[in-house]
Amino acid sequence: MRHRIALGLTAVLAATLLGPAGTANAHDRKLETTIALPNGFQPEGIAIGTLPYAYFGSRATGAIYRASLTTGRGEIINPGFGAGSLGLKLDRQGRLFVSGAASGDGRVVDARTGATLKIWNFTDGTSFVNDVILTRDAAWFTDSQNPVLYKVPFGRHGKLGDTFETVPLTGDFVFTPGAFNTNGIDRTPDGRNLLIVQSNTGFLFVVDPDTGATTQVDLGGALMTNGDGIWVEGRRLYVVQNRLNQIAVVDLNRSGTRGSVVRTITSPAFDVPTTIAAYGKRLYLPNARFTTPPTPDTTYTAVAVRR
């Protein structure tokens, strides 16, 4: 039997930095549309809470930077472990789930204090733990270097356990050794399954969370080339196509098995954006600047565009 997937691990807590965002906000025009990140930061992941704070992960050091969308000011809340922090997701308990890149780890950071709450070592082999999505009963991590997903089951009231499962991807998904495979992950519109993008092929797949069986999404021949972070809201899917400097906007059926590209979003402010989060009527993306050689003085930003 398939699990029905839904956000929300427990009741909302009354704190200033909690919860996934996405609802309309009357004060959008008062928010910053460009957020300056620390020089040399090399951003990759982003998550936004219900109040206007954004969290960014550094692929260079794994540091976590928290910034106000109202003022643009921010600070490092966790220095990292020397391994990258890539895809991020924030739950309603104020816990930030972090994909640990080549470390083979998944981590959890307290979004208020920056304290590291948990680390899972998924593998000691070659890996690139790239993105994460939260469901009612688990956190799911992708690995761009292995044809698997990592599932971390939650205990009662969302308790973080010590165990995890490695779920092989089967079915339509074809792994290419040495390439950059599975990347962004979210839920299908009906909440029953998972949705992943494969960067090297541009294919989207629906994944059965019980079995790991995959079904390629019928996009009428359209490809999500350089697909990176993805964001599902209702039946609308946003796919960041990093080196193309654009977001593909896809309308899906309820099961996520079929869709069509309805438009693309571009901006002169894009400089290889990677991941995506929503706040109010805007989408926020960190500019990874993959085509710019990184130095300690290289500047980085996150930018907002209208949906």
The whole-number pLDDT of residue 217 equals 98
Task: Give the mean pLDDT of 88-95.
Answer: 97
Q: Is 162 a residue whose pLDDT tops 70? A: yes
Nearest to 87 by CA among 199, 185, 5: 185
Burial 269-291 (b: 16+ CB within 10 A, else e): bbbbbbbbbbbbebbbbbbbbee
Nearest to 238 by CA among 306, 137, 146, 141: 306
Give residue 8's pLDDT band: very low, low, confident or very high (50, 70, 90): very low
Give residue 24's pLDDT band: very low, low, confident or very high (50, 70, 90): very low
pLDDT tens for 140-150 read 999 999 999 99
The whole-number pLDDT of residue 50 equals 82
The whole-number pLDDT of residue 14 equals 32
Assess if CATH 3.40.50.300 describes domain 28-306.
Answer: no
Q: Where are the beta strands (DSSP E) in 154-287?
A: 165-168, 170-171, 182-187, 194-198, 203-207, 213-216, 227-233, 236-241, 246-252, 259-266, 277-279, 282-286
Task: Give the mean pLDDT of 91-119.
Answer: 97
Collapsing DSSP to helix, strand or coil, 243 comes out as helix
pLDDT tens for 66-78 read 999 999 999 999 9
Q: How many C-beta atoms lie closer than 10 Å to residue 113's C-beta? A: 11
Q: Is 220 a residue whose pLDDT tops 80? A: yes
pTM value?
A: 0.92
Give residue 133's pLDDT band: very low, low, confident or very high (50, 70, 90): very high
Q: Is 16 a residue whose pLDDT tops 70? A: no
Give residue 7's pLDDT band: very low, low, confident or very high (50, 70, 90): very low
* CB 261, CB 224: distance < 8 Å: no
* CB 81, CB 92: distance < 8 Å: no
Domain assignments of the chain as residue spans, ordered by start:
28-306
* CB 49, CB 280: distance < 8 Å: no
Q: How many C-beta atoms lie closer than 10 Å to residue 225's C-beta? A: 16
The whole-number pLDDT of residue 19 equals 57
Give residue 20's pLDDT band: very low, low, confident or very high (50, 70, 90): low
Q: Is 273 a residue whose pLDDT tops 60? A: yes
Give the percent of the chain with pLDDT over 70.
Answer: 91
What is the rounded radius of gyration, in angstroms, for the C-alpha atoms of the chain?
17
Tokens of 170: 């089967």
